[in-house]
Amino acid sequence: MRRFDFVTLKLFVSIADEGRLTAAAEREHMALAAVSKRISDLESLVGTSLLYRRPRGVELTPAGHAFLHHARRILEDIERLQAELSEYGEGVRGHVRIHSNTSAIIAFLPQDLSAFSRLYPEIKIDLQERISSEVIAAVRDGLTDVGIFAGHVACDTLQLLPYRSDRLVLMTPRDHPLAERPSIFLHEATDHDFIGLQQDTSLQSLLHEQAGRAGKTLRMRIQVRSFDAICRMIHHGMGVGVLPEQTIYRDLGDLQLSSIPLSDAWARRELVIGVRQYDALPVIARHLVDHLTAPD
């Protein structure tokens, strides 16, 4: 048992998560041959098969399930050890990685990260913008310390903490037939052309899902990559669109737009912070999470 190493343990966990050696090799940035060799050596070392090889992937044997349980615990203990030791460094310095969806980056993070940087000027912040599903995957795979994403996106693998809430509004040109409405339900707007984000974003998925529940279909005329582009398309009469209220750019004052609150209960969204395990975070990442979740 002396030949166990953390690389092999992490690799085995990835194989269990992915169900295929090729996917695990890509996730761990290893050659497929090297993955196969490590697993074969591991099985020789423990004296039993850990995986069933199937035509479409692999499955864990009973021994494999037992090994996976202990491998996860060992890796979590190592993360916890690193977090504890980091507290003994010289001051609070280093860098913390954040992946966030667009809504949080536009509406909340500029102010929050600016205040955090004033408190901890020695900490470098690595912020990357991703769609919510990609944020969740990045946290799960250890590619980022902290993730911020839409709370309605399914996620049962991370520890979640509340961050902020936002409200969805319908944006129209000022001369649009709906522009004078004080509020509106989404299904009341589905007879009009919509401008939206790409199909794989959490917001777009939410809108299609809720329209479907009301027995309606969104008439997507144009799909773009940014909230700014949506606003400009609406300004030029190409359709209407749904945006988080606090992401509407204040510097788009030259655009002739109207904002109508959506009356649907689901239109008030929660943004959440996701981490693999708060107690195992490096101390600087815990400082950031504490700052982001502190009462205003």
Which residue in this structure is represented by tokens 């864990």?
60
Q: Dihedral (C-alpha) 74, 75, 81, 86: value to the nearest 10 degrees?
A: 170
Write out the chain's pLDDT in tens, 296 residues: 456 788 999 999 999 999 999 999 999 999 999 999 999 999 999 999 999 999 889 999 999 999 999 999 898 888 877 766 665 554 556 789 999 999 999 999 999 999 999 998 888 899 999 999 999 999 998 889 999 999 999 898 899 999 999 999 999 999 999 999 999 999 999 999 999 988 778 899 899 999 999 999 999 999 998 898 999 999 999 999 999 998 886 556 678 899 999 999 999 999 999 999 998 888 889 999 999 999 87
Residue type (1 letter), 14: S
Q: What is the pTM of this model?
A: 0.68
Q: Are 121 and 239 in contact (CB under 8 A)?
A: no
Quote the CA–CA distance of 39 and 164 in Å, as a whole number: 44
Buried b (16+ CB within 10 A) or exposed e, 40-63: eebbeeeeeebbeeeeebbebeee
Residue 89 is given by DSSP the state S
What is the spatial distance between Cα 195 and Cα 242, in angstroms, rounded to a whole number? 8
- DSSP H/E element including 160: strand 159-173
Number of neighbours of residue 252 by Cβ within 10 angstroms: 13
Q: What is the pLDDT of residue 202?
A: 87
Cβ atoms of 163 and 272 within 8 Å: the answer is yes
Domains of the chain: 6-88 (1.10.10.10), 92-163+270-293 (3.40.190.10), 167-264 (3.40.190.10)
User: Do residues 283 and 86 touch, judged by C-beta distance below 8 A?
Assistant: yes
User: Which among 194, 204, 198, 192 is positioned nearest to 224, based on CA atoms?
Assistant: 198
- The DSSP 8-state label assigned to residue 209 in this structure reads H
Tokens of 290: 């504490």
